[in-house]
Amino acid sequence: MKKLPFLLLAFLPIVLAAQPRFRAGAVLGLTASQIDGDLSAGYNKLGFQGGLRVITRLKGRTEASMEFLFSQRGCQNELIPSEYDPNPFALTLNYVEVPVQWHFKDWLIEYDEENLNYYKVSFNIGLSYARLISSKVDDDFNWLNGVAPDYLKKNDLGIVLGANFFATRNLGFTFRWNRSFLLLYDSRKSPRGGKSWNSHNLNFQTVYLF
């Protein structure tokens, strides 16, 4: 029963796409993540992102979108791990993520038929809710194991800023920045102590709209 809301949400884009004001498509991409408060710096943790996007037309050059995604986040001390690193570590966090965004479009491409017109670029802002479903720790130094997974927060809410470029009416590319409002790990509420963690990530997506 706990999985029922997520299953219903997964089918929502498909149902909405059948309406004339809506379009839907598939999203496939890459995440680059880091966590403030860990022992690393830089967007070194690469992960997979994929799912569905549904878009509804609003007034003028604006529209709204919702996505249902599987997203990998986390941290890693080096982008390319070295066999000579004495203390390598990596944390992989698997999320179900639902971004809701507002878009402003520009650069209209016109055709003879109005339903073939499209905008090449758009800029977006919104909120993203994510639910942590699993995690994996690779840490020879053993400091990550003291926090993950027992003291990590399951729910996350963040701000999303991004831009989209459409090569055709159907094929587009998205760059997005996502920063959490909530702490992934709150040291004030944990017997482990240390620094609190706040996560942020970059998303590089390819989207195909039907």
Q: How does pLDDT run across 98-123, given as a tens digit for each residue?
A: 999 999 999 999 987 877 899 999 99
Beta strands per DSSP E along the chain: 22-36, 45-57, 62-76, 89-109, 118-139, 155-166, 171-180, 198-209
Q: How does pLDDT run across 60-96, given as a tens digit for each residue?
A: 899 999 999 999 999 998 887 777 777 788 999 999 9
Global pTM reads 0.88
The C-alpha angle with vertex 3 and arms to 200 and 196, in degrees rounded to 5, equals 30
Alpha carbon distance 106, 104 (integer Å): 7
Torsion, CA 148, CA 66, CA 128, CA 163, rounded to 10: 110
Query: Locate tokens 């796409």: which residue?
Result: 17
Please name the fold of domain 25-209. Answer: Porin (2.40.160)
